[in-house]
A = this chain, B = another copy of it.
Amino acid sequence: MSGSAITHTSRASSLTQRRRLINRALAQALPAPGAYPPVIHEAMRYSVLGDGKRIRPMLTLAACEAVGGALEDALPAACAVELIHAYSLVHDDLPAMDDDDVRRGRPSCHKRFGEAIGILTGDALLTLGFHLLTRPRRRPAVWLRIARELSHAAGTFGMIGGQVADVQASPTPGAEPIEYILTHKTGALIRAAVTIGGVAGGATKAALGRLTRYGGRVGLVFQLVDDLLDRDGVALVWGVSETRRRAEALTAQAKQAVSPFGARAEPLCALADVLLSREL
């Protein structure tokens, strides 16, 4: 009981430390406030910095660590995946999409800066995300591979494809291409976040296979728990208890997939539990 509480506390503090590391790297990666034209750089910082949970970049760092890489080796990849996630939120919130006025307890980007700047801020975050991957001068083949994985996962065979299916879905539950949305809208980027961490850390092909299995499972868990919390999507189709059961089974499979990494997989296991419990 007390041992588990200690583990829980040390896990939480380790995740908090990593979130700080990521937040510092993001603040440095974004253009300085006041750089011309100031409004776009202010809107980019507004949309990225602040209260994000940083799940994707933490997965990137944890995957790098699992294969014996140094955290710094994966930081540009971690920042890139978070910027791409942030761009998708900014565009998702636009009036023509989900029309959300509030994001993370504050006015959404287009509510705060206007719709034109909202569109351009998303564009700028996506562009900067890719740009970050091109800056390292060492190991160009590694960074090109990371850019390949990430641009595939963010594109029409990944995240954008999922968003299109979601936008077009009929509002009647069960009528949507629900499995497709499940694996694409959020799953593809989460899976890529894990994979690119492995690539940055110099993973072997076998190790990458394990990470990809892990990433596919936790990506699904993320969406299942989202639907459970919102009582929509698969929670309506499969029912709450069946959805919960599947999320738990997937979490166990994810942890199993990375168990050959031994103690180095601890951050990945901690994140898998966090995604299931949403205790962040």
Contact = CB atoms under 8 A, between A and B. Distances in A.
A31 interface: yes
Contacts of A141: 140
Interface in A30-66: 31, 35-37, 39-41, 44
Contacts of A144: 134, 140, 143-144, 147
Interface residues of A, number: 52
A50 to B, nearest CB: 19
Given A140-B141, A155-B131, A160 B117 contact: no
- Copies of the protein in its oligomer: 2
Interface string A156-184: 11001101110110000000000010000
A261 B98 CA distance: 53
Give chain A's interface secondary structure class: helix
A131 to B, nearest CB: 4
Q: Which of A39, A41, A115, A154 has the largest number of chain B CB atoms within 10 A?
A: A154
